[in-house]
Amino acid sequence: MKKQTVYTLLIIAFVLSFFVTPLGDFSKIILNRLFATAPTVIQNENRGKIADYKWRLKNSEWDFISFEDAKGKVVFINFWASWHLPSKAQLKDIQTLYDTYKGKVSFYIITNEERAPVELFMEKNGYTFPVTYQIVGDPSPLTLLKPPGSYILDKNGAIAVHQNAIADWDNETVFALLDTLLHEK
């Protein structure tokens, strides 16, 4: 075989590995992280506000919880799925955000999956942020976003971030926003 043919075959094998092997998923996650940018912060004068906090969810023990517990607090909401590649890509950043702001910010990392696959995924990846389960069909005060959509709400329920795509949550823009929102009255 000619050298050029061997190189061509190697390149084809490498490209195919992105589509048919676990290496491909790993590589796609890295690429998603690499190209993720900071979320866009909505200016104060343009922020919409949620109408109420009436929203039933379930916690990791499968007990009903009320979103009303978040009233008067800074809230981070993320919609995700363990099978969704962009969701997987940003969960490492969300874990860092949780580790930095737990106890200060209310975290609602929401999935509509069953418990078993989520628990397995969380254990496998070493994530400790609280998982919240959506009750499919129950009304929500927010538009339910497709994974990996996210919101950040201020203490008054105003939407400071409405992100419809993957974002880099481990950066100074997000930290500065959360610090500002935490110090507002």
- The residues spanned by each domain of the chain are 1-35, 38-183
Six-digit token string for 66: 């009320």
pLDDT at 37: 87
**Which CATH code fits 38-183?**
3.40.30.10
What pTM was computed for the model?
0.86
Q: Region 140-145: what's the mean pLDDT?
A: 90
Written as six digits, the tokens of 86 are 């962009």
Query: DSSP secondary structure string, the chain?
Result: --HHHHHHHHHHHHHHHHHHSHHHHHHHHHHHHHH--PPPBPPGGG--B-S----EEE-TTS-EEEGGGGTTS-EEEEE--TT-HHHHHHHHHHHHHHHHHBTTBEEEEEE-S-HHHHHHHHHHHT--SPEEEE-TTS--SSPPPPTT-EEEE-TTSBEEEEE-S----SSHHHHHHHHHHHH--
pLDDT tens sequence across 26-74: 777 777 777 888 999 999 999 999 989 999 999 999 999 999 999 999 9
- 137, burial (CB in 10 Å: exposed 0-12, middle 13-18, buried 19+): exposed
Quick: pLDDT tens for 96-136. Answer: 999 999 999 999 999 999 999 999 999 999 999 999 999 98
pLDDT at 81: 95
